[in-house]
Structure 1
């Protein structure tokens, strides 16, 4: 009887690290001389961050600060999708930052096709926003993980439920 091994390919981020990133960014904004009096606010929602500030220049500085703090907390830059800059009341600007989580159907198909083309003894199945990879040999699965780490995808990947 041959047993099979599997793992899941997912795209997610640590929500607590993101909360800490936002807190650090807000603290820095309050302490920095050039940003102190801008009345900037960062609001973390379920799937977005809303940045509200007084100018495009300040918004650019806050984006850099947010990216920097996220990188220090090992959050991938790929989770941020900066939206359109909107003008708000009182000569202010607002921007929604979409937080990307989960693997889209197109990316899941790309991942599955890549694995099928390069690894003949490995099966994939798309289950919602997860790609399950199964094989009879653990070494094949290790090879798949190494190959996916080399691939340049617009999302960050993690490998979970390895069994």
Structure 2
């Protein structure tokens, strides 16, 4: 029976490359000369920490990071930019990346699939949704349906089997 998995994975090495490229651009930009500003990526928590001396510099760094992520094919919906905080003489912003499908989002996706009345079966396995059906065309229709729905997290479709 044909099946595929809906997953949400983050390419951590691509995020790391984007952060490295952003740090390189900071070193070459004229408006950041003599300013202690940096991007730091923590692989364990999937967070990038932006640090600079002023809030407007953080906003500029925010734009730089977004551009570098787009160049590395990381969707903007994967990143969640939090509020800028002030800690002593530094402004700090944390950018967290979403990975995995949580229960609420999985239920929302399954509801979208069931409401479409396509003859498939969708089940939640941890942070993966497995969709099975009798026809390959039905599964492709489900992929097109989920892509067209407005979901606030990037999704990938894996293990397509006949």
Name the TM-score, length of structure 2 as normaliser.
Answer: 0.94
Paired residues of 2:14 and 2:72 also in contact (CA < 8 A): yes
Mapping 1:1-163, distance limit 5 Å: 4-45=1-42, 46=44, 47-89=46-88, 91-163=89-161
Distance in structure 1 (CA, Å) of the matches to 2:131 and 2:33: 50
Distance in structure 2 (CA, Å) of the matches to 1:6 and 1:104: 21
Q: Deviations over 1:51-94 (max 9, x none)?
A: 111111000000000001111111100111112222112x2111
Distance in structure 2 (CA, Å) of the matches to 1:136 and 1:30: 56
Distance in structure 1 (CA, Å) of the matches to 2:144 and 2:119: 16
Distance in structure 2 (CA, Å) of the matches to 1:115 and 1:24: 39
Paired residues of 1:78 and 1:155 also in contact (CA < 8 A): yes
Distance in structure 1 (CA, Å) of the matches to 2:152 and 2:123: 20
Distance in structure 1 (CA, Å) of the matches to 2:34 and 2:26: 9
SS in 2 for 1:74: coil
List gaps (5 residues or longer) in structure 2: none
Distance in structure 2 (CA, Å) of the matches to 1:115 and 1:148: 8
Q: RMSD value over aligned CA atoms?
A: 1.0
List gaps (5 residues or longer) in structure 1: none
Alignment length, in residue pairs? 159
Distance in structure 2 (CA, Å) of the matches to 1:121 and 1:160: 20
- Note the C-alpha offset of 1:23: 0.6
